[in-house]
Chain A
Amino acid sequence: EPEVTQTPSHQVTQMGQEVILRCVPISNHLYFYWYRQILGQKVEFLVSFYNNEISEKSEIFDDQFSVERPDGSNFTLKIRSTKLEDSAMYFCASSPLDTQYFGPGTRLTVL
């Protein structure tokens, strides 16, 4: 059964550094998403992407964040200058229409 995959599974970075989190959505899915979950808190929506552009973004998704679908299969989330509060589990998801299917997540630790 097709799955959403994410790499790396764990990323440790220094505050102020740039990180790129990578995702391979399920092929033939049309919609792509990034969410994050800070330890002990609710999952939070970051951004949705459709037809090669952002369709919606949350207040969290400020100028430090960007998304890209560089080659028709990968979907990336870039954080330009990481902050301590960016430490979280980042989940990528894709959907053909309604049901969203999630990857295993990338645990980002900012020191």
Chain B
Amino acid sequence: KQEVTQIPAALSVPEGENLVLNCSFTDSAIYNLQWFRQDPGKGLTSLLLIQSSQREQTSGRLNASLDKSSGRSTLYIAASQPGDSATYLCAVRAGNNRKLIWGLGTSLAVNP
């Protein structure tokens, strides 16, 4: 059964710092992995999707990497800003079905 874990559970950094959020999954047979952002009491905003055949995806200051064989993905945020403060969730899609299996998230606080 696929399990998704995110470490750390919470992170507080000063503005301007580069940071890495981690996501691990137990079954490497994934179809793709998606990173989301969740603001308090709000919906889930898709940030990046990495297909199982890809190693990384970039969008602006965000870079997500995928190492399927070791069951890991990282989300790199460059030059963090207070507006980046949110919970970041990763979710994997396994195989032919389309359901996403989620981690609990990393709560990020970027302090001015």
Contact = CB atoms under 8 A, between A and B. Distances in A.
Interface of A: 31, 33, 35, 41-45, 48, 55-56, 58, 91, 93, 95, 98-105, 107
B99 A105 contact: no
B98 A44 contact: no
Q: Is the interface of B mostly helix, strand, loop or mixed?
A: strand
Contacts of A99: 34, 46, 49
Contact of A105 (B36, B43, B102): B43
A99 B45 CA distance: 11
A91 B43 contact: yes
A62 B49 CA distance: 30
Contacts of A104: 42-43
Interface residues on B, range: 20 to 34
A88 to B, nearest CB: 13
Contacts, number: 54
B51 A98 contact: yes
Given A45-B101, A56-B99, A100 B46 contact: yes
A98 B49 contact: yes
Contacts of A42: 4, 102-104
A48 B98 contact: yes
A10 to B, nearest CB: 10
Contacts of A41: 104
Given A42-B104, A43-B89, A98-B49, A58 B99 contact: yes
A48 B99 contact: yes
Contacts of B91: 43
B20 interface: no
Among B45, B93, B98, chain A packs the most CB atoms within 10 A around the CB of: B98
A107 B49 CA distance: 26
B42 A100 contact: no
A56 B110 CA distance: 39
